[in-house]
Chain A
Amino acid sequence: MKVGDLCRRDVVSVSADAPLSAAAQLMCEQQVGAVIVTAAPADGPIAVGVLTDRDIVRAQLEGTAALSEIRVADVMSREPLVLTEDEQLDEAVRRMRVRGVRRAPVVGAGGALTGIISFDDVLAHICANLAALACLTGRQSRRQDDLTTYQI
């Protein structure tokens, strides 16, 4: 399984130049706790940071400026862990653990932002695999019961 097979394509992103008020509005509308921050060079958007709801609150506590007066670029986490679509999922999870992040932007071969992968996506994937395994063992044990019946 590769990162590109599991990541979500509907990335909620905000421009690094946007005010925090716009980012806050977007996060509430989309019901997400974090957004990918992008810059837009000519050859497509690139991920330059991650902004969480906690980053917003912390920025408000540190200063007195209103949310509309603070730029996303000033409070986001910079140099995010960026995963590539063709990276193996287990290696990606290992890198997320090493960096201590729950989500990471995903880029295509050209380096342009194409998706996002989160802790929740990976957990759901592992659970789906486990459920499939449990189904299999359930079927096999029933078959075993049938065989036993025949032997009697």
Chain B
Amino acid sequence: MSIAEISSAPVYVTTADQPLAAAAREMCARGVGALVVIDTRDAQPRPVGILTDRDIVCGQVTRRADLHCLTVDDVMTRNPLTLCADAAVSEAIQAISVRGVRRAPVVDRSGVLVGIVTLDDLLPALAQQLGELAGIADAQARALPAAVAGASTRRPA
């Protein structure tokens, strides 16, 4: 299973020069916990940062400044981990666990933003695989008594 199959699209974006309050308002309106910050100098959107609720709160604390006086650039996390859309789910899990992040922008082979993948997207993918495995075990357990019953009827009297 590839990242492209499980990542969320559309992905909501902002730019580094935006007022932080505007980005925060966008997050609230969209009901998302993160925006991908994209480079405006390029015609194609390329991720340069990520902005989360945590960044907004902690950015204000460390900068001793109010939300309304800051820009996205002041508090965003730079150089985010990006995942290639055709990477396997297991590669993605390895990469996010090494970086210790819960979400990562997804890019195509030329680095253009195409989506975002979160822990919440990865978990159902794994749970589904696990469910399939449990299904095999369950089917075999059900088949066993039938096979035994079949064997006993064929036994000569």
Contacts and interface: CB of A to CB of B under 8 A. Distances in A.
A27 B54 CA distance: 9
A28 B57 contact: yes
Interface in B31-90: 33, 53-54, 56-58, 60-62, 66-68
Contacts of B130: 130
Chain B interface mostly helix, strand, loop or mixed?
Answer: helix
B53 A33 contact: yes
A57 B33 contact: no
Contact of B57 (A24, A61, A66, A130): A24
B45 to A, nearest CB: 24
B56 A53 contact: yes
Interface stretch (B4-12, B19-27, B106-114, B149-157): B19-27
A57 B123 contact: no
A24 B56 CA distance: 10
A26 to B, nearest CB: 9
A54 interface: yes
A98 interface: no
Contacts of B123: 123
Interface residues of B, number: 19
A67 interface: yes
B58 A57 contact: no
A148 interface: no
A66 B28 contact: no
B66 A57 contact: no
A57 B62 contact: no
- Which of under 10, 10 to 19, 20 to 34, or 35 or more describes the interface residues of A? 10 to 19
A57 B27 contact: yes
Contacts of B68: 60
Given A33-B53, A53-B53, A57-B56, A28 B61 contact: yes
B57 A27 contact: yes
A94 interface: no
B57 A53 contact: yes
Given A58-B28, A61-B28, A53 B61 contact: no
A33 B28 contact: no
Interface string A45-89: 000000011101110110000110000000000000000000000
A66 B65 CA distance: 10
A24 B53 contact: no
B61 A60 contact: no
B16 to A, nearest CB: 18
A24 B54 CA distance: 9
Interface in A16-49: 24-25, 27-28, 33
A69 B33 CA distance: 25
7 contacts: A25-B61, A28-B61, A53-B53, A53-B57, A57-B53, A60-B66, A66-B66
Interface of A: 24-25, 27-28, 33, 52-54, 56-58, 60-61, 66-67, 123, 130
Identify the 3 closest CB pairs spanning chains A and B, nearest first. A28-B58, A53-B53, A53-B57
